[in-house]
């Protein structure tokens, strides 16, 4: 109950607000808030696109570094395999030490140097080629190109290389004698007995070179690229200080590997990261890149700030330009409303000066014309005392009800706030058309065609006002359009269908159908059908007997229709009602076909 009371108070407060205040409120609701929402959306889209471009840039760097590392390692693997599988090398290293003379050993050393130096000359200048041979030979401790295999048996790289039947191995700095190189090692086995380990080929790559290549992936400071093997041992990193900060957990590392050489988003340590991981060749090494989201956002923060400043300036400019425009509209509408209130009080001299030809100027002209027409009708009523003129005057006064015009003008106001000039023009055009057809140049009779156009103009305004919840359908035989009908006959019936039929429904929506044709007796029948709440059998019976009382202007218009029809057509006409509760109401007027002989209104 309290929420309902608050809701009613809020509606009452809004209804009593000045029009300019409503305009400004609508301006906030219909422009500023959507602008803020759309700006936030655009801001997010720009941010996402910029982040995506940064990620794409990082991905290109990632692929280039991976391709380069793959190429380097393939060449090194090929060199190691070529040396290890060379028959001359295998023959020299498998010689029996007991029959190995000193002169023969010196010749073999010379041959090995010549053979190995040809590979050394074709390799990268920073790579170091080593051939490990069995101990006990004169050249075993040459220690330039040839090294003693026995002295390496306690090293991690030796154990890794000669464990099981493994072939080429990639060894991180932690497995080497010095931690400034990574090494590729290929074991050499006796061709005649593969269980006999007779040597190894080792090529050392500078760790500085590896880490220099890794840094090329990083698009900004704070990003990290590193190589890790399947056992979790680090090979190298672009920034060793960031390694403990951005190292991925095993779970996220596996997710990145499964993603297949593309960046994915993960959350770790309450931060968002973009990560990519894949194996380099068949080395067992994983190339991993970690891009913190906050670092990417820092790169584009300047552009985001410029966008926010631009939107803020745009808002201020639009606001200060809109206030004078709103005031210019509301002041003219408020003046028109004040004059309408004077008319309600009986002051028919409340004319307005027309100083523009826009839609509000046209409404002012129609308002002045209506005042003059009312004065004419009042004088005619006073002089002639004719009941027909009295009914016409009351019908016309009902149509220029200030509430209808005020509601329409207020609707135009919120359409202006929604920046819908096309619909504003349409509403004003239909409002002007409505009053033009209602006044009918002072004539009391019009054509059925003009009467239907009057209903269409009226329904367009009402449909717009109620957000298209009320729809009109006209199904009239074209052959009856040129016949006569008293002016403003169908419109009060349609208005009654809206107010007492459709708007009484919980949904406040419905359809109105206007049908017209000749009946079997050659009379013209025009029906207004609605799917509103309808009437009970008791209410319908009272309406048929003229005992259903309605004190509003709409009810008066409905009761007045039958009287006006009889004054014009005599007893040859009638009004008939059909209705069912919760199904709708049908009002049918039956008139004789009287050709129209007056002057047609120009469109």
Mean pLDDT of the chain: 82
What pLDDT, on the 0 to 100 scale, is given for residue 367? 74
**Does the pLDDT at position 24 exceed 70?**
no
The residue-averaged pLDDT of 432-440 equals: 85
382 found inside a domain:
yes
Cβ–Cβ contacts within 10 Å for residue 420, how many? 15
What pLDDT, on the 0 to 100 scale, is given for residue 397? 47
The residue-averaged pLDDT of 382-399 equals: 51
Nearest C-alpha neighbor of 557 from the set 509, 497, 470 = 497
Which pLDDT band, with edges at 50, 70 and 90, does 297 fall under?
Answer: low
Query: How would you write 386-422 as a 3-class SS string?
Result: CHHHHHHHHHHHHHCCHHHHHHHHHHHHHHHHCCCHH
> Among residues 208, 233, 259, which one ends one of the domains?
208
DSSP state of 599: P
572 found inside a domain:
yes
**Does the pLDDT at position 149 exceed 90?**
yes
Alpha helix stretches (DSSP H) within 142-261: 156-161, 207-215, 243-246, 250-259
The residue-averaged pLDDT of 536-542 equals: 85
- Looking at the structure of the chain, the number of domains it has is 2
What pLDDT, on the 0 to 100 scale, is given for residue 498? 92
Q: Specify whether the CB–CB gap between 213 and 226 falls below 8 A.
A: no
Size (the chain), residues: 603
Structural domain of 430: 351-591
Whose tokens are 């009856």? That residue is 480
539 found inside a domain:
yes
The residue-averaged pLDDT of 339-349 equals: 73
**Does the pLDDT at position 548 exceed 90?**
no
> Among residues 208, 228, 252, which one ends one of the domains?
208
Which pLDDT band, with edges at 50, 70 and 90, does 338 fall under?
Answer: confident
What pLDDT, on the 0 to 100 scale, is given for residue 391? 53
Nearest C-alpha neighbor of 203 from the set 166, 235, 177, 170 = 170
C-alpha 223/C-alpha 238 separation (Å) is: 9
**Does the pLDDT at position 5 exceed 80?**
no
3 state SS of 523? coil
Q: Specify whether the CB–CB gap between 501 and 510 falls below 8 A.
A: yes
Residue 447, beta-bridge partner list = 484
3 state SS of 597? coil
Taking only the tens place, the pLDDT of each residue in 450-506 is: 999 999 999 999 999 888 899 999 999 999 999 999 988 999 899 989 989 999 999
Taking only the tens place, the pLDDT of each residue in 202-233 is: 999 999 988 888 888 877 777 889 999 888 88
The residue-averaged pLDDT of 337-364 equals: 73
Query: How would you write 467-495 as a 3-class SS string?
Result: CCCEEEEEEECHHHCCEEEECCCHHHHHH
- The contacts found for 259-268 with CB under 8 angstroms, 24 or more apart, are 261/63, 261/66, 262/59, 263/55, 263/58, 263/59, 263/289, 263/291, 265/293
* 419/255: higher pLDDT: 255
Torsion of CA 75, 77, 78, 79, to 10 degrees: 90
Label residues 187-226 b or e (16+ Cβ within 10 Å = b).
bbbeeeeeeebbbbbbbbbbbebbbebbeebbbeebbbbb
579 found inside a domain:
yes
What pLDDT, on the 0 to 100 scale, is given for residue 483? 94
* 319/500: higher pLDDT: 500
What pLDDT, on the 0 to 100 scale, is given for residue 554? 45
**Does the pLDDT at position 393 exceed 50?**
no
What pLDDT, on the 0 to 100 scale, is given for residue 509? 92
E strand or H helix at 525, and its extent? strand 524-530
Q: What is the CATH classification number for the domain harbouring 90?
A: 3.30.450
What pLDDT, on the 0 to 100 scale, is given for residue 323? 66
Which pLDDT band, with edges at 50, 70 and 90, does 197 fall under?
Answer: confident
* 12/169: higher pLDDT: 169
180 found inside a domain:
yes
**Does the pLDDT at position 420 exceed 70?**
yes
24 found inside a domain:
no
The residue-averaged pLDDT of 582-591 equals: 93
Q: Which of 266-270, 329-333, 349-353, 395-399 has the lowest mean pLDDT?
A: 395-399
The residue-averaged pLDDT of 573-581 equals: 90
C-alpha 337/C-alpha 377 separation (Å) is: 23
Q: Specify whether the CB–CB gap between 502 and 530 falls below 8 A.
A: yes
Cβ–Cβ contacts within 10 Å for residue 12, how many? 9
Q: According to the per-residue pLDDT averaged within each range, which of 10-19, 128-137, 356-365 is highest?
A: 128-137
What pLDDT, on the 0 to 100 scale, is given for residue 382? 54
What pLDDT, on the 0 to 100 scale, is given for residue 129? 92
Q: Which of 5-9, 333-337, 586-590 has the lowest mean pLDDT?
A: 5-9
Percent of the chain at pLDDT above 90?
Answer: 30
249 found inside a domain:
no
Which pLDDT band, with edges at 50, 70 and 90, does 441 fall under?
Answer: confident
Taking only the tens place, the pLDDT of each residue in 111-135 is: 999 998 888 766 666 789 999 999 9
547 found inside a domain:
yes
Q: What is the CATH classification number for the domain harbouring 584?
A: 3.30.565.10
> Among residues 149, 174, 208, which one ends one of the domains?
208
What pLDDT, on the 0 to 100 scale, is given for residue 553? 44
What pLDDT, on the 0 to 100 scale, is given for residue 385? 47
**Does the pLDDT at position 380 exceed 70?**
no
The residue-averaged pLDDT of 384-404 equals: 53
């Amino acid at each position: 109950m309290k929420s309902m009371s608050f809701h009613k108070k809020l509606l009452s407060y809004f209804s009593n607000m000045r029009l300019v205040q409503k305009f400004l409120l609508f301006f906030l609701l219909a422009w500023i808030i959507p602008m803020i929402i759309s700006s936030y959306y655009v801001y997010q889209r720009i941010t996402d696109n910029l982040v995506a471009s940064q990620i794409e840039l990082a991905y290109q760097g990632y692929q280039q570094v991976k391709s380069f590392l793959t190429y380097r390692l393939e060449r090194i693997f090929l060199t190691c395999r070529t040396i290890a599988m060379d028959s001359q090398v295998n023959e020299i290293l498998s010689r029996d030490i007991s029959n190995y003379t000193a002169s023969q050993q010196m010749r073999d050393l010379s041959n090995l140097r010549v053979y190995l130096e040809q590979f050394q000359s074709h390799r990268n200048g920073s790579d170091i080629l080593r051939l490990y041979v069995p101990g006990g030979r004169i050249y075993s401790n040459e220690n330039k190109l040839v090294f003693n295999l026995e002295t390496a048996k306690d090293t991690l790289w030796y154990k890794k290389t000669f464990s099981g039947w493994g072939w080429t191995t990639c060894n991180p700095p932690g497995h080497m004698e010095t931690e400034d190189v990574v090494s590729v090692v290929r074991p050499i086995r006796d061709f005649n007995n593969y269980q006999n380990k007779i040597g190894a080929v080792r090529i050392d790559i500078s760790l500085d070179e590896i880490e220099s290549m890794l840094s090329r992936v990083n698009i900004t400071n704070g990003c990290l690229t590193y190589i890790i093997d399947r056992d979790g041992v680090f090979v190298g990193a672009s920034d060793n200080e960031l390694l403990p900060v951005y190292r991925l957990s095993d779970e996220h590392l596996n997710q990145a590997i499964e993603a297949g050489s593309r960046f994915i988003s993960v959350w770790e340590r309450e931060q968002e990261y973009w990560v990519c991981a894949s194996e380099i060749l068949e080395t067992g090494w994983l190339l991993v890149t970690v891009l913190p989201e906050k670092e990417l956002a820092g790169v584009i923060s300047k552009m985001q700030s410029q966008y926010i400043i631009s939107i803020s300036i745009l808002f201020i400019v639009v606001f200060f330009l809109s206030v004078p425009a709103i005031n210019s509209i509301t002041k003219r509408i408020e003046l028109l409303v004040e004059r309408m209130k004077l008319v309600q009080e009986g002051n028919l001299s409340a004319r307005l000066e027309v100083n523009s030809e826009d839609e509000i100027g046209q409404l002012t002209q129609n308002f002045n014309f209506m005042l003059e027409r009312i004065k004419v009708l009042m004088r005619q009523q006073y002089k002639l005392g004719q009941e027909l003129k009295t009914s016409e005057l009351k019908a016309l006064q009902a149509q220029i009800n200030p509430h209808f015009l005020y509601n329409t003008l207020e609707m135009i106001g919120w359409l202006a706030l929604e920046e819908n000039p096309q619909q504003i023009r349409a509403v004003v055009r239909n409002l002007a058309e409505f009053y033009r057809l209602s006044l009918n140049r002072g004539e009391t009779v019009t054509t059925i065609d003009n009467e239907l156009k009057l209903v269409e103009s009226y329904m367009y305004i009402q449909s717009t006002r109620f957000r298209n919840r009320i729809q009109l359908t006209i199904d009239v035989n074209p052959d009856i359009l040129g016949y006569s009908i008293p002016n403003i006959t169908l419109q009060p019936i349609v208005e009654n269908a809206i107010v007492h039929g459709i708007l009484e429904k919980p949904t406040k929506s419905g359809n109105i159908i206007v049908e017209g044709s000749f009946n079997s007796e050659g009379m013209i029948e025009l029906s207004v059908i609605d799917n509103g709440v309808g009437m009970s059998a008791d209410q319908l019976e009272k309406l048929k007997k003229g005992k259903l009382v309605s004190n509003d202007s709409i009810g008066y218009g409905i009761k007045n229709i039958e009287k006006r029809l009889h004054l014009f057509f005599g007893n040859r006409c009638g009004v008939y009602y059909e209705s069912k509760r919760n199904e709708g109401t049908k009002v049918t007027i039956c008139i004789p076909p009287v050709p129209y002989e007056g002057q047609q209104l120009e469109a």
